[in-house]
Amino acid sequence: MEQIRFDHVTQRFRLIRERPDTLREVFARMLHKRPRYLPFEAIKDISFSVKKGETVGIVGRNGSGKSTTLKIIAGIYSPTTGKVSVNGKVAALVELGAGFSPDLTGRENIFINGLLLKMTRREIRERERRIIEFSELGEFIDSPIKQYSSGMYMRLAFSIAVERDPDILLVDEILAVGDAGFREKSMERIMDFHRRGKTIVFVSHAMTSVKQLCTRAILLHKGKMVADGTPGLIYEKYEAILKQAGENI
C-alpha cells in the first residue's frame, strides 16, 4: 500500500531582488522595468512513492530541495505543479516549535501545540506527563519558554511531536537537539516508530544517519531527483557529487 506519492511535482518560489536603497535606484528600476522577483524552482518534476512501513532517506547538499519535499508531504506547501497523495495521519518534525508562544509556560505550550497537531484535549491530558518526562525539563516546565535555552526549546517541541503516534513520521535534521544522551533517546524513539511499522521519511545530508535508519534513499541535486535506491548505492552517488564540489560526507 502506497502512503505517499509524488507525480511530476514542481515547487516554484519567487525570490525578491535586492531592495533599492535610494530614490535614484528606485527611478532606475522603474526606467529599466526590472522585475522585482525572480522565479526559483526548489524542486523540479519529481516523482516517487513510499510504501506503508518503509523508512526512506532523502539526501543531498544544502539547497537541493530536501526540506521543500518534506514540507510538501506535511502540507505546509502546496505544489506549483504536479500531484501529491498522502494517506494517513502525519507528524512532521519540521520547524520544531512553530506555534509556540514565548510568554506562556512549557506546560501551556504543550496544550496549544497539541491542539495545533490535531490532538484532542483528552489526548493531550493523557500524554502530558510522558511529554514532560521525555523532554527532561523538570521544574522548568512551568516557566515561560522565553527563558529556555535553544536546546530546552527544541527538546520540548520534539517531545510533543513524537507523542502524536502518527502513521507517517517526517524527520528533518532534528537529531542534533539537546545533549548526546537526548540525541540517543530521540533516535531510539524514531527507531521504535520503525519497529512498529510506521512510514518514515528522513531528510538529511548526513549519510551515516541515513544508513543507520533507512532501508532506501533518494538523492536530490539542484532540485532534481538523480537517484533512488539502497543507502549504499546512494552513498556512492552522493560522494561523487560532493567530490565534484570539493566537499566531504
Beta bridge partners of 85: 5
Summarised one tens digit per residue, pLDDT across range 174-208 is: 655 557 788 888 888 888 998 999 999 998 877 88
Cell numbers linked to 129: 506527563
**What Å distances lie between residue 110 and 25, 74, 90, 106, 145, CA to CA?**
48, 20, 18, 6, 11
Range from 96-110, 115-129, 146-160, 170-184 carrying the lowest mean pLDDT: 170-184
**Mean pLDDT across the stretch 45-74?**
94
Residue 209: the pLDDT is 80
pLDDT: which is higher, 54 or 37:
54
Evaluate if residue 116 carries a pLDDT over 90.
no
User: What is the signed CA dihedral for 103, 109, 115, 118, rounded to 10 degrees?
Assistant: 130
The pLDDT value recorded for residue 128 is 95
Contact between residue 201 and residue 4 where contact means Cβ atoms under 8 Å apart: yes
The predicted model gives 87-92 an average pLDDT of 88
Domains and CATH numbers, the chain: 2-8+50-245 (3.40.50.300)
d(CA 105, CA 83): 40
Q: Which three three-digit cell numbers place residue 1?
A: 500500500
